[in-house]
Amino acid sequence: MLERDKRVLELIKNLGICTRQQIQNVIFADVHENVCLRRLAMLSKREEIKREYFNLGDNKNAYIYYLDNKPNKDTIQSDLIITNYIIKLISEGYEIVESKRNTMVEDNTSNAIIKFKSKDKSKYVFLKLESEEGDFKSIYYNFKSESKEEIPNTLYLIDKGLNVVKRIKYK
């Protein structure tokens, strides 16, 4: 296995799900897209990664790459937006330590808890894709009261353009 294959596995582990284009932007930016396609096909054939073909709307179909559970087709669009946000953090120089997705099962939009590191300092954020439904604070408090894990004290609501619509810091 090549070093960049290991980087692909680590990236998919950190992102949860991603497209070929997202992987190419992070790891294979300086080579032709066929190189990325061949490496992903090889990793899939060896069962190092899994892939599933999804209709992403607007006559756009693509393979989605993942390691564990097959992505939910109802939340795939919003999951990929969160993946884009995590890629944005990576491109700004942050190291992604851990990310957990869709931590609220009854909710119909994507969310994630992301632990990232800049220099020596680790930070947690609770990331929620903007939704027309529900109150942002109540979503956070409901999650915090139901969860048995450490909950970030910073909550970000993002829109589809990866802009932070609202940032709330809790004590």
pLDDT in tens, the chain (171 residues): 789 999 999 999 888 899 999 999 999 989 999 999 999 999 999 999 999 998 877 767 889 999 988 888 877 888 888 888 889 888 888 888 888 876 655 555 567 888 888 888 888 787 777 664 455 666 666 666 665 556 666 777 777 777 777 777 765
pLDDT at 97: 85
> Of the candidates 148, 138, 132, 147, which has an alpha carbon nearest to the alpha carbon of residue 170?
138
Q: Name, in order, each residue with C-beta under 8 angstroms of 61's C-beta and a sequence gap of 6 or more.
A: 53, 54, 55
Starting from the edge strand earliest in sequence, which strands make up the sheet with 164-169, in order? 95-101, 111-118, 121-129, 154-158, 164-169
CA distances from 143 to 128, 133, 151, 157 (A): 12, 16, 9, 15
Measured distance CA(72)–CA(20) in Å, rounded: 18
Both tokens assigned to 163 = 């802009």
pLDDT at 77: 83
CA dist 104 and 140 (Å) reads: 10
